[in-house]
Amino acid sequence: MSDNRWWRGAVIYQIYPRSFMDSDGDGVGDLPGIIDRLAHVASLGVDAIWISPFFRSPMADYGYDIADQCDVDPMFGTLADFDALLAKAHALGLKVMIDQVFSHTSDAHAWFEESRQSRDNPKANWYVWADAKPDGTPPNNWLSIFGGPAWRWDPRRCQYYLHNFLSSQPDLNFHNPDVQQATLDYVKFWLDRGVDGFRLDSINFCFHDAQLRDNPPKPEALRVGRGFAPDNPYAFQYHWYNNTQPENIGFLERLRALMDEYGDVAALGEISAEDSLATTAEYTSPGRLHMGYSFELLVDDFSAGYIRDTVERLEAAMTDGWPCWAISNHDVQRAVTRWGGAQPSDDFARQLVGLVCALRGSVCLYQGEELGLPEAEVPFEQLRDPYGIAFWPNFKGRDGCRTPMPWTASTGAGFTTGQPWLPIPDAHRALNVEAQSRDDGSVLAGVRRFLHWRRAQPALVTGTQCFVDAPEPVLAFVRGDSDDRVLAVFNLSEQALDWTLPAEFARLRVLDGHGLLAGVLDGDRVRLPPHAALFAAVD
C-alpha cells in the first residue's frame, strides 16, 4: 500500500485489554500481558491492533469512563509499558491504534470535578449543563442509551447535566472551543508518542442541539435499534437532537488537519445514528475521518440479501470515503453465536472471517474470532456490565463477549494465575490457542491461512466491488479492477447447494490455499458444501 494509506484494506485486530492477557495474577489483563502475546497477533497476518481504553478510570463502564486521557490506569500498567508495547508492535510490523472517547468523561475527571462546583468557574461551561423546567423536571426528553433520562441533577450547581451513557459519564460541551482544543491536545499527546491512529468511540455524539429541543417519538413499528438492548426506551425516539449535529463536521476537519501533520496515521470512527450509513459517508468525506464503521453488520440479520443491501447502500452514499467492516466487537454478541446458533461449526467460523475480510474496505476482527469463540453464558451474580445488570433478564449485557482469551486448557486458560475478572467457560478453554496452533484443521489455522493468502490478493485488499445476482443463500461479488478481478462466492447456509454461473464468468481460474472450506467449479456450476467459499480469478 502506498504511503499514508496503510489503513486501506487493513485488517485491524481489536484487543480488549482487560481480557487479553494478565501478566501479574490479579485476574485483569494489562499492557505487559499484551506485549507477551503480540507474537500471536502478528502470526495471524493482520496489519494493526486497536486497543480498547487503558486510561485512568474508575471503571464504571470498564474504561470508557475516562478520568485522565493522558495516563495509563495502574490496573493496566504505566506509560513506560505502553511505550514498550508500541515498540514491540512496530518491531513485529503491526500498526497501533488506540481508543479515544471524545464525547464524555468520567465524573471523576478533574475537568468535571471543577465544572460542577459552580456556574462561574473556569470550566463551568465545559460540560452540558441546563436548568430544570419550572416543575423541576429535566430540560427535555432526551434518554440515555443505558436506560432512563439522559439528565442527572447536581445539587452543587442546582442544574442538570447531560449523560448520553451512564450518569457517571457526563457529556462534554463541544460548542465550547476550549473543549475542542483540549481534546485535540490529548490527541496530539498520543500522536507525539508514536501511535498510528485512533478508533473514535461514538464519534457522532460530540455535539448536542444547542437549543435542547425534544426528540420526536418514533412509531412502535420502527423501534428497532442498533447496538442497544431490546425493551430499551431509547428506541422510542428519533435521536435528531442529542447527537449527530452539523457542528461536528467542523471539528472532524480540525482533527483531520492535526492528524495530517503526522502523515501515516488514521482515524476510524464508530457511528451509531438514525441513518448510520449516511452519516458514515458524510464523516468520511475528504478532509474528515479516514474510515468509518457502524453497527449494520453487528445485528441479528444474516442473509445474502441483507449483507448485499447494506454494502451497496453504503457504497452508493460513500463516493469518496473508505469503509471499515466488523461483525463482532466488545459491545455485541459474538458473531458465531449470533448468526450460527448454539453449536456453530468450525467451517462457519472460518467462513465469517473470510467473508468480512473479502468485502471492500478495512476490517476489525475482535480477539477470539480467530478461535471461533462462541458467546459465553455469564450468570447474573457474576455480571460486571452495568448495561446487562440494568436490563436483565431480557438482555444479558456485553460480558458474554468480553470473557478472557483462552491461551491454554489450564484452569485460568493461560490468561491468569489468579481469579479471572469474568468466568472462562470450559467450552472456551477447549478452543485455546495452544491446542488450535497444533491442529492444522482448526479454526485458528484456517484463519491464519486466509489472512496471509488475502495479503497476496491485491483485488481483495483495495479493489473495487460489484455484487453478482444470486439466489439466497448465495452471496457473490467481484473484487478488483479490469486486469485483476476475483469472483468470491459464499454459501451462507447449512445445506450443500449448486449455483449456475452467469454467462459472463465463462473463464474462471479457481484460487486455492485460502484456508476456508472450498467450493468446486464444475463447468458452469459452482458446487458449494455448507458454509463453503469459492474464489476464482476472472480471466
273, 355: one domain: yes
pLDDT at position 223 is 85
306, 425: one domain: yes
362, 429: one domain: yes
Residue 160 lies in a domain: no
Residue 424 lies in a domain: yes
Residue 166 lies in a domain: no
446, 485: one domain: no
Q: In a 3-state reduction of DSSP, which class is residue 169?
A: coil
Q: Which of 215, 222, 204, 234 is nearest to 390 (CA)?
A: 234
Domain containing 510 — which CATH number? 2.60.40.1180
Task: Quote the CA–CA distance of 404 and 18 in Å, as a whole number.
Answer: 8
470, 368: one domain: no
44, 62: one domain: yes
Given 396, 426, 454, the domain boundary residue is: 454
Residue 130 lies in a domain: no
pLDDT at position 227 is 52
436, 492: one domain: no
Given 454, 485, 505, the domain boundary residue is: 454
Catalytic residue among 3, 120, 192, 261: 261
Q: In a 3-state reduction of DSSP, which class is residue 268?
A: strand
Domain containing 351 — which CATH number? 3.20.20.80
pLDDT at position 226 is 56
Backbone φ and ψ of 13, nearest 5°: -95, 120
42, 189: one domain: yes
Residue 140 lies in a domain: no
Bridge partners (DSSP) of residue 13 are 49, 365
pLDDT at position 231 is 81
232, 297: one domain: yes
Share of the chain above pLDDT 70, in %: 98
Q: Which of 361, 279, 352, 272 is nearest to 515 (CA)?
A: 352
Residue 121 lies in a domain: no
Residue numbers in the chain where pLDDT is lower than 70? 1-4, 225-230
450, 495: one domain: no
Burial status of residue 194 (CB atoms within 10 A of its CB: 0-12, 13-18, 19 or more): middle
What pTM was estimated for this model as a whole? 0.97
Burial status of residue 533 (CB atoms within 10 A of its CB: 0-12, 13-18, 19 or more): buried
472, 437: one domain: no
pLDDT at position 225 is 58
Given 416, 431, 454, the domain boundary residue is: 454
Q: What domain range includes position 523? A: 464-538
Beta strands in 169-256 (DSSP E): 197-200
Residue 388 lies in a domain: yes
Mean of pLDDT over the chain? 96
The per-residue pLDDT for range 39-77, each reduced to its tens digit, is 999 999 999 999 999 999 999 999 999 999 999 999 999
Catalytic residue check, 426: no
Strand 497-500 with 525-528, pairing: antiparallel
Catalytic residue among 47, 99, 171, 201: 201
Residues 6+ apart with CB under 8 A from 525: 498, 499, 500, 501
The per-residue pLDDT for range 313-371, each reduced to its tens digit, is 999 999 889 999 999 999 999 999 999 998 999 999 999 999 999 999 999 999 999 99
To 5 degrees, how large is the angle CA 166–CA 167–CA 169?
A: 65
Catalytic residue check, 261: yes
257, 326: one domain: yes
Domain total of the chain: 2
Residue 91 lies in a domain: yes
